[in-house]
Amino acid sequence: MVEDTFHFLIEEADLPRIHLDHAYMVGRQGRGVAASFELDRTRRRLACRIPHRGGTGATAALVLQVGLPEIGLLKLRTTQLPPRAQPYALMIELARERLRHFLQKCEDWQMFAPHLAGPAMERFQSAREELAEAVLCEDRARRMALARGAIVKAVQAGEQLATHRADLVLHQRYGSSTATDTTLGHRIDPRVDPPGSLPPALEEFGVTMIETPLDLLQPRPGEYRFEALDRWMAWAAEHRLPVILGPVLDLRPEVLPDWARERCTSYPELCSLIWEHAERLLERYDAGAAIWCVSSGIHVTRLLALSDEQMIDLTRRLSVLVRQVDRSAKVLVELLHPFDDDVALRPGSVPAYEFATRTLDEGVHVDCFGLNLRCGFPEGGGEVRDLLSLSDALDRFAGLERPLLVTGLSAPRRSGDLLGGSWHTDWSEDRQAQWGTSMMGITLGKMTVRGESARSRPTGAYEGVLWSDLLDGPVEPTGLVGPSGSPRKILTQLATVRHALRRPLRSGPTAESPASTGTEGTEPA
């Protein structure tokens, strides 16, 4: 076993700005690679080592959290670099990648024309000039200060580009039509009780996803308790909300009872447990669910390491079981995180997009895919990214040629664990609402139309967005509604965007367009 080593030079003032807790490397094919990191604070050098089994050294990019004024604490990446002993200037490489990414998305979205890119192109040009000055500057401290300024301006330009692009496509998609009732929804953890009263704005949410956590439904082996889930199913029926039920297979540690962790030490034992759980759910709620979420994050290594074939096999078995019970039932597979942090940080994990394409290639019946999109949480893939990076990640999944849902849009409403990062400033109710409405607009501004006719139905289009929690859950307080039933700002803002889509967006994009709502933080200071 040999190692490829990448060295980065860091200015002393930048040492507090970088965080290596969730750092990893990205290989030439875009796949996350596990690496070891050694930061010498005295020499101000960072060594990144990737083990491999020989051959020529391959290029790789470094991904790490960086905190800068005006843009917050974000996960950024460098350009693809070959390993070498001579150190790279970290801030210079981060700035180069931001500029490259901006140009790449201008090409992908065909937005090079100044009237299409708008003020984003002016901001980009300023960032490019600042980086050019940094490269030529001989004073090291001044050089790094210019590079930091280029990063900030490039990130701001990228966010302006992403929101403006979303406005253009939203007006194309909804220029002469309205959004469906299920465009906006919420997710429910049944471990909390249904609210006694609801704010009127919640009427804009036309679909709900009710989870089926194993620790609630089967706290002890063979002892099923459906009372809490029954209450929420009755609540959804009372409010005439179509239900996405599941995930049937959910291996998150926080929803697994101790007995399940102890029992599931092999693949056959896991299959036996999940099969029994699925049969009991389908038997009880076969007529109550419009869509069954058969699995969530099975491509990420959690309870035990599964091979690619076992991941596909479990998904196929659950899909077949659902359709045996109800031939007309729709099957949803939920993917975790649009980024591949887990592939590097959890050995045995498979990239979400790769798992989805393999599922379809293997002939597994999947009617739609869900994407869990969390921002601001200290876990692999849940740390804060800028809007351009998020928009780019969503673009990749539009190639799946299945309807797509964001089944867990989520951001904190207050700053807690700093390792989750921040967006522009510390998290607050206002910042959460600004991020949520921006991402709703960006998500719905994604569609892929295939076929010769302009009237062809979009495939791979994002059909709806579900906020992660109707009420504050036992783990994260991100609910739309407060304990007394009062609406939080994120609820009001999302409802405002949804209401705007109840009539055609006949006029061109404006500052009040859905994707622009609350994104003033992306404008130059």
The candidate with the shortest Cα–Cα distance to 470, out of 179, 199, 228, is 199
Q: How confident is the model at residue 57, as a pLDDT?
A: 58
**pLDDT grade for 507, boundaries at 50, 70 and 90:** low
Q: How confident is the model at residue 212, as a pLDDT?
A: 96
Q: Looking up tokens 């869990």, which residue turns up?
A: 372
Q: How confident is the model at residue 457, as a pLDDT?
A: 54
Q: What is the reported pTM?
A: 0.93
- Please provide the CATH number assigned to the domain covering 179-502: 3.20.20.80
User: Taking all residues of the chain, what is their mean pLDDT, rounded to a whole number?
Assistant: 89
Q: How confident is the model at residue 269, as a pLDDT?
A: 93
Q: How confident is the model at residue 54, as a pLDDT?
A: 60
Q: Which of 29-38, 238-247, 405-414 has the lowest mean pLDDT?
A: 29-38
> Which H or E element spans position 437?
helix 429-444
Alpha helix segments (H runs only) across 239-307: 258-263, 267-285
- State how far the Cα of 475 lies from the Cα of 488, in Å rounded to an integer: 18
Q: How confident is the model at residue 283, as a pLDDT?
A: 92
Could you tell me which residue, 184 or 417, shows the higher pLDDT? 184
Q: How confident is the model at residue 453, as a pLDDT?
A: 47
Q: How confident is the model at residue 523, as a pLDDT?
A: 41
Contact 99/131 with Cβ under 8 angstroms?
yes
Contact 359/331 with Cβ under 8 angstroms?
no
Q: How confident is the model at residue 299, as a pLDDT?
A: 93
Contact 366/331 with Cβ under 8 angstroms?
yes
Q: How confident is the model at residue 2, as a pLDDT?
A: 78
**What is the side-by-side strand order in the sheet with 32-33?**
32-33, 18-27, 60-68, 72-77
**Percent of the chain whose predicted confidence (pLDDT) is above 70:** 92
- State how far the Cα of 497 lies from the Cα of 516, in Å rounded to an integer: 10
pLDDT digits (tens, 9 = 90+) for 474-490: 667 899 998 888 999 99
pLDDT digits (tens, 9 = 90+) for 34-87: 899 999 999 999 999 998 756 555 899 999 999 999 999 999 999 999 998 899
**pLDDT grade for 459, boundaries at 50, 70 and 90:** low
Q: How confident is the model at residue 522, as a pLDDT?
A: 45
**Would you tell me the crossing angle of helices 140-173 and 90-109 to the nearest 10 degrees?**
20
**What is the side-by-side strand order in the sheet with 45-52?**
36-40, 45-52, 2-9, 84-89
| Across 302-323, average pLDDT | 92
- State how far the Cα of 357 lies from the Cα of 452, in Å rounded to an integer: 24
Q: How confident is the model at residue 514, as a pLDDT?
A: 61
Other beta carbons within 10 Å of 18: 19
Contact 171/513 with Cβ under 8 angstroms?
yes
**pLDDT grade for 381, boundaries at 50, 70 and 90:** confident
- State how far the Cα of 458 lies from the Cα of 461, in Å rounded to an integer: 6
Q: What is the CA radius of gyration of the chain?
A: 23
SS3 content of the chain, % helix, strand, coil (to 5): 40, 20, 40
Torsion angles phi and psi, residue 74, rounded to 5: -115, 160
User: Does the pLDDT value for residue 448 go beyond 70?
Assistant: no
Burial of 49 (C-beta count, 10 Å sphere; 0-12/13-18/19+) = middle
**Would you tell me the crossing angle of helices 352-361 and 387-397 to the nearest 10 degrees?**
10
Q: How confident is the model at residue 341, as a pLDDT?
A: 87
**pLDDT grade for 506, boundaries at 50, 70 and 90:** confident
> Which H or E element spans position 395?
helix 387-397
Domain coordinates in residue numbering, the chain: 2-169, 179-502
Q: How confident is the model at residue 524, as a pLDDT?
A: 32
Q: Find how far residue 274's CA is from the centre of its chain.
A: 26
Q: How confident is the model at residue 243, as a pLDDT?
A: 96
**pLDDT grade for 511, boundaries at 50, 70 and 90:** very low
The identity of residue 255, as a single letter, is: V
89-98, 297-306, 417-426, range with greatest mean pLDDT: 89-98
